[in-house]
A and B are shown apart, each in its own frame.
Chain A
Amino acid sequence: MKDILIIGGGAVGAFVARKASSYNLKVSVIEACQDVGDVTSMANSAIVHSGYDPVPGTKKAIFNVKGNRMFPQVCKDLDVHFEPIGSLTVALNDAQYQMLLPLLERAKENGVPAELLSAEQVKAMEPNISPKVKGALLCPTAGTVNPFTLVAHAMENAVDNGVKVHLGEKVIGIEEKDGIFVVHTTRRDHEAKVVINCAGLHSDEIAAMVEPIDWSIKPRKGEYFVLDHYAKGLVNHVLFPLPSEKGKGILVTSTTSGNYLVGPSSEWDDDKEDFSTDAPTLANVKEQALMMVPNIPFREQIRTFSGLRATPSTHDFIIEPSKKYPNFINCGGIESPGLVSSPAIGEYVIDELVSKVLPLEPKESYNPKIRPYLHPATMDEQELNALIRKDPDYGIVVCNCEKVTLGEIKDCLSRSLPPQTVKAVKKRTRAGFGKCQGGFCQPKVVMLLAKHFGCSPADILYDNQGSEIIAKEAK
């Protein structure tokens, strides 16, 4: 019997689990994918929003602003790359400039530092901005984060503090019996006193397993371009156009790894499993982005992708117990600004909601810090050479494009929540993220995983079940 069962290992699930692990509780997480943070938490803009734009008083506004304030410490504790580069919401004509004024007011109301900049100020900060720029709203507390390690490290920290994670397990039914939930999955049954539904795109389906609900999740697709790091200095802030009813619009930003991200589009989708991209949508993304930054070097494109936002019918985050069961807590509709909100959601769910149904007793051994990862690329020579003398694997480069060493990959594999798939290795170490997209290093990663898990390379998955890279042994 678990005290808490968390359904879903995305950003919200990971931060709920991490907070839960600070108390003396038996906590398990079940995740349908072969890795944590594998769906919406992975395919998004990776922005730590300042919180100037949600309607004041909404859960989006409250959790965004609180999460933003927590972010520097969270990223320090979890060894996650966070770049507080600030955001500019850019007006390209007079009408748009007029629209910045109410946004400035809204920022003030939400308690978010913001400042209106003149065209000249924007041009000085962003040399590649469209000459049509009329001004911008600067939000200095916005930033970018590595969304892959954010979730992986938060969950690893939870595991370090006693949480169990079950990957590749999908919930197929939930029963309530005398105040206890029995959660049936594709692998086994779990019994828990409290269930926390963090199932992202599928949170409405999970919620509906215990009672009829009056809300739903509709996927809203966003398609993106990723550019290689060569265009250094292309943009220095997260650049947004004016927000509209379709969302925050097509942004241009650097990422924590020095790449550039252009997107997302915003289209309703009926299929929660549809991660395809299409040419007309991407062409439109390109066109929109070029209006703001006319010389984006699209020849440096190294990948296109799409993500699905878990858009709720209620227009706000749903973070509350179910109507019937105070010990069944729904976290649904966590679309943007979900990533930045997730640490604050984790705290709220445990301290304010779970506390009403379970006694919370702080765990003495709780350590909010992860065992630091080593980053040979940013070490000084002396420090690096000392490390390589101790472990020569830190001198062997596996991924040539991103300069990821064998030592870093082996370190990941030795941790409490080791990557099991090629994509999981990629998300944690960046091996395969560069311009050759794993052309040179993927076979090496496959062989390493096979050796580590004692299986055949033909069993190694790229991502989820069915994504084997190798069909068969030829000889």
Chain B
Amino acid sequence: MEHKDLVIIGGGSAGMAAAVAAYDAGIKDILILERTEFLGGILNQCIHNGFGLHEFKEELTGPEFLTRFVDQVKERGIAYELEANVLSLSKDKVVTYLSAKGKTEIQAKAVIMAAGCYERNSGAIGIPGTRPAGVITAGQAQLYLNEFGYMVGKKVFILGSGDIGLIMARRMTLEGAKVLGVAELMPYSNGLNRNIQQCLKDFDIPLYLSHTVTKIIGKEHLEAIEISQVDEKMRPIPGTEQRFDVDTLLLSIGLIPNNSILDQAGAIPSSTRGSKVNQNMETSIPGVFSCGNVLHVHDLVDYVVEEGRQAGAAAAAYLQGKEGKSEARIECVPGNGIGYVVPSWIDLEQAGDSIPLKFRCRKPSKNVYISISFNGKEIKKMLKLAMIPSEMEIMKLPKNLLDSNQGKLEVSLVAKGE
């Protein structure tokens, strides 16, 4: 069996950033395993711009952004294998993968999971009606168009206002398709405001809020869809049906961490469908870390690389024996109005001076305080003028506000004036 100090599963933004950070912290024996033919992950097909404003202070396209990380990986001589598909990870950190070389087992001292996410699809939500060709995820249509040069349709409707759907509305419009509209189940958009502007409004594409697709019509190929307005409990309202004759329905209805390897390894799962991690991105399996969209779905790649670096640095510290063992734990939980919190645990003895807390609100909120309480006592409060679920919030919590290595830390929203 081969041995490696650090094996990174996934050569996208998170994995490359983690590799670079671990290398720079002194770990040289690294292997990145990437399942596709290219480093860079999903950014390879995200040819639009808007990436890197935090990271590089300039606006880059996806391929430009990822190339900067590929360059960093190559400059350091960090080893990577392409078309290397990880089959399993054991609790004692044996990584088994398949490639044209054969089936290989590597005993790793530390592992970073950075396998990204996949798109929720029509199967998962079971849209009523038939199951013809022409109903595909927005990311799949993006792959067909941006890497292979094929258009999946000419008359398009989009379900879900996630950013990939909005980006594809513009992209397909510019390539000559007619995009008839976007339906969003929620009463607010799930994409970034600027994408509503530059991808929909720029091209007069209507956005139907509080609407969903209630019927797929067409035997072999999609011929039409029916959308309906939904009530406050998201149930379709009879009599509000509208029919659109389209050959394509793109789905942009959410992303799900591609975390099966860690789930099968026995890492404790989290409500984000990733694994539970501590402030160092370490899962319940010691020496196994997780970062990026496989942990929780991010809104910006800039935050993905930040998290990747955090995991890379923490893995390096673990490998260098800087991380001690401590059973005491603070549990981080979402409170009122909050969907989830990463990390799930804080181990105060291992934490740096400032602990980044990442979370999302459940619904759009204006003029609210983000309140952080520890063992029932509020320890930090911050006013937010506006919060939306599509934006991930990051709050840095000074370590010295926590006066114990045990207990419960809760992030919640409190309306101004309460």
Chain A residues within CB distance 8 Å of chain B? 225-226, 230, 273, 275-279, 282, 301-305, 376, 381, 384-385, 388-389, 392-393, 395-397, 400-401, 403, 405, 435-440, 442-443, 447, 457-458, 461-475
Contacts and interface: CB of A to CB of B under 8 A. Distances in A.
Contacts of A389: 102
Contacts of A470: 144, 150-152
Interface stretch (B114-122, B193-201, B298-306, B384-392): B114-122
Contacts of B134: 469
Interface centre among B85, B102, B247 (most CB of A within 10 A): B102
B180 to A, nearest CB: 15
Contacts of A230: 260, 263
Interface in B210-265: 216, 219-221, 247-248, 256, 258, 260, 263
A471 B175 CA distance: 12
Nearest to B102: A385
B264 to A, nearest CB: 8
Contacts of A472: 150-151, 154
Given A403-B85, A473-B150, A439 B118 contact: yes
Nearest to B149: A475
B153 A436 contact: no
30 contacts: A226-B123, A276-B128, A303-B124, A381-B105, A388-B100, A388-B101, A388-B103, A395-B83, A395-B102, A397-B83, A400-B85, A435-B124, A436-B119, A437-B122, A439-B118, A443-B147, A462-B133, A463-B220, A465-B220, A467-B132, A469-B133, A470-B144, A470-B150, A471-B150, A471-B153, A472-B151, A472-B154, A473-B150, A473-B151, A474-B145
B131 interface: yes
Contacts of A465: 220
Given A384-B102, A435-B124, 13 more contacts: A277-B128, A278-B129, A279-B126, A301-B123, A392-B100, A395-B98, A401-B260, A403-B98, A438-B140, A440-B118, A464-B220, A469-B152, A472-B154
Contacts of A273: 219
Contacts of B100: 388, 392-393, 395-396
Nearest to A400: B35
Nearest to A300: B124
B131 A275 contact: yes
A184 B16 CA distance: 62
A412 to B, nearest CB: 19
Contacts, number: 146
A268 to B, nearest CB: 18
Interface string B387-415: 00000000000000000000000000000
Contacts of A467: 132-133, 220-221
B308 interface: no
Given A304-B123, A400-B35, A439 B153 contact: no
Contacts of A395: 83, 98-103
Given A302-B124, A395-B102, A447 B85 contact: no
Given A388-B103, A397-B35, A305 B131 contact: yes
Contacts of B154: 471-472
Nearest to B175: A474
B119 to A, nearest CB: 5
B137 interface: yes
Contact of B143 (A403, A435, A443, A473): A443
Nearest to A274: B130
A211 to B, nearest CB: 31
Which 7 pairs across A and B sit closest by C-beta, in order of nearness? A303-B123, A397-B85, A392-B100, A304-B126, A466-B220, A462-B133, A467-B133
Contacts of A393: 100
B334 interface: no
Nearest to B37: A396
A92 to B, nearest CB: 26
A122 B67 CA distance: 58
B270 to A, nearest CB: 14
A302 B121 CA distance: 8
A279 B128 contact: yes
